[in-house]
Amino acid sequence: MNDIIIRTMTIDDYDDVAALWAGIKGFGIRSIDDSREGIERFLRRNPNTSVVAEMDGKVVGSILCGHDGRQGCLYHVCVDASYRQHGIGRKLVAKAIEALKAEQINKVYLIAFTRNEGGNAFWKKVGWQCQDDRNYYDLNLNEANMTVFNE
């Protein structure tokens, strides 16, 4: 495997990252939040914490990462299936956590859809704990912002 570059994500990466997301089984993509405009808004608010993995000029992994000043959150963590089992996911997570620590964030969480078997297996393997002592609630403020799952 050639050298992997882990770097900060910019809006210029959007087309490559969106194509990557579209190929990940079990991934949920929101029609508005994950549009170019939605990701551009997210990156403006969190300019230093989202990361991509690049190999031979191709984006092969990514994490959207942001924080509210108190705790960080990882969204859309993925590695192209043909590049898995080479430590890319671990390197992406480490870089995102490093960026959060630089912004004095002391806790990070993530949400993985239960149907995302590969993602859930990864998080357990790298030592993250599944929380069963709380309920996760959300409220959709825009009915046009639909989640579509990749099968």
Residue 26: what pLDDT?
75
Say whether pLDDT at 5 is over 80.
yes
All residues at 6 or more sequence positions from 23 whose CB lies less than 8 Å from its CB, including other chains? 80, 81, 150
If DSSP codes are grouped into helix, strand and coil, which group holds residue 60? strand
Contact 7, 51 (CB under 8 A): yes
Residue 24: what pLDDT?
84
pLDDT digits (tens, 9 = 90+) for 53-109: 999 889 999 999 999 999 999 999 999 999 998 999 999 999 999 999 999 999 998
How much is the pTM? 0.83
Cα dihedral 34, 58, 96, 121, rounded to 10, equals 80
